[in-house]
Chains A and B, each alone.
Chain A
Amino acid sequence: MGKKESSFVNMVITLFVITLTASIALGFVYEFTKVPIAVAKQAAKMKAINEVLPEFNNLPNEEIYKIVIDNDTLYFYPAREDNKLVGTAIETYTNKGFSGKIKLMVGILPDGSINNIVVLEHKETPGLGDKMSKSKSDFSLQFHKKNPENFNLSVKKDGGDVDAITASTISSRAYCDAVKRAYNAYIKGGKK
């Protein structure tokens, strides 16, 4: 069989059939993966909450509340052990990253000190800015058990107390910015 002639009708029909088939196939895969993707994202969030908080026995996800400060909306996940508040996980973000938005989960203890921090999402340079993730370097460990009241959440270059990641001052600054945002929201009425 030879090639089909490039007549107007042939071209229109061919493109129509191809795009239609492609859309059906994509729609099918999308439907198939929609639920698992949402579940995986939710599971990652739950894992982060467990990591940043001390032990608790309630379901922080069901007591979620949001705080709006200066047009920022932050989500709070309170953790309780036998109805006593043991810490709050705060989903915070910054737009100052080297390549866009960074999302963190910050765990704050009732006395205002930082318990632990986990990176939820980032697009920083692999090998440099991505060292903010705990699996890649010890950068995030320096925040542990520090109270921002007497621990200036800025990199040392800016007069703060944070050791920036080598060659990633911008990412480090952004990280501090996100933590600061969570802390400020917590102090200004986020504590429940």
Chain B
Amino acid sequence: MNQWKNFSKGLFRENAVFVLFLGLCPTLGVTTSVINGVGMGLATTFVLLMSNIVVTLIKNFIPDKVRIPSFIVIIASFVTIVELLMQVYLPSLFDELGLFIPLIVVNCLVLGRAEAFASKNTFTSSVVDGLGMGLGFTMALFFLGGVREILGNGSFLGFKFIHGDGILLFILAPGAFIALGYLIMIMNKINKKTA
């Protein structure tokens, strides 16, 4: 398989958020600012990559009937590791994201890639797939967080450029849906052109 195609599908054609609509709970929940979105995206990328690697390595030892519980245990372990490491090395980010980190376990994106891709493909393909999917997810959260932070708070990466409040709606839940809707529209346009 062409590895570049395999990698870029996670960014565009099969982007987790804009095309597959997987993992929307953390997507809508944490993207109130760029930093939060990117932090969540990178944490998910790490979990996705590690679980893809482990699943593809041991795929032949797991009987079919217990594959889902096995994958979940593997994913949950990596999520807990991320949570602990984040508390040590990135305490300020953990203060913001702490609530959402355990939710990576139930992010359908991670289990979906383990089940649909890593358990059927070679080691290299799985690593590339995990990276592509994870970075695609991070990219989506970056754009969503960017739009919401600019419109809702009048700042970018914490740097304020207007005085006072922005459009509060965009910080609240409805704003997440509105921004996501428009971003999906743009993504569809791009995908149509390249297809």
User: Which residues of B are found within 8 Å of A121, using beta-carbon distances?
Assistant: 95
Partner of B63, one of A14, A25, A40, A123: A14
Partner of B70, one of A3, A14, A30, A167: A14
Contact A26 B77 (CB under 8 A): yes
Complex formed: what's the CA distance from A40 to B91 in Å? Answer: 8
User: Is A126 an interface residue, CB under 8 A from the partner?
Assistant: yes
Residue of B nearest to A30 (CB): B84
User: Is A29 an interface residue, CB under 8 A from the partner?
Assistant: yes
Interface string of A116-144 (1 = CB under 8 A from B): 00000101011110000000000000000
Q: Which of B62, B74, B76, B168 lies at the interface centre, i.e. has the most chain A CB atoms within 10 A of its CB? A: B62
Q: For residues 72 through 115 of chain B, which have their beta carbon under 8 Å from a beta carbon of chain A?
A: 73-74, 76-77, 80-81, 84-85, 87-88, 91, 95-96, 99
Interface string of A35-57 (1 = CB under 8 A from B): 01100100010000000000000
Kindly provide the distance from the CB of A9 to the nearest chain B CB, expressed in whole angstroms: 10
Partner of A33, one of B64, B70, B84: B84
User: Which residues of B are found within 8 Å of A125, using beta-carbon distances?
Assistant: 171-172
Interface string of B46-68 (1 = CB under 8 A from A): 00000000000000111111100
User: Is A187 an interface residue, CB under 8 A from the partner?
Assistant: no
In the complex, how many residues of chain A place their beta carbon closer than 8 angstroms to a beta carbon of chain B? 31
User: Which residues of A are found within 8 Å of B84, using beta-carbon distances?
Assistant: 29-30, 33, 37
Contact B81 A14 (CB under 8 A): no
User: Is B126 an interface residue, CB under 8 A from the partner?
Assistant: no
Q: Which of A15-23, A70-78, A107-115, A172-180 contacts B (4 or more CB under 8 A)?
A: A15-23
User: Is B45 an interface residue, CB under 8 A from the partner?
Assistant: no
Contact A40 B77 (CB under 8 A): no
User: Which residues of A are found within 8 Å of B60, using beta-carbon distances?
Assistant: 1-4
Interface string of A155-186 (1 = CB under 8 A from B): 00000000000110000000000000000000
User: Which residues of A are found within 8 Å of B44, using beta-carbon distances?
Assistant: none
Top 3 nearest A-B pairs (CB, nearest first) are A127-B171, A6-B63, A6-B65
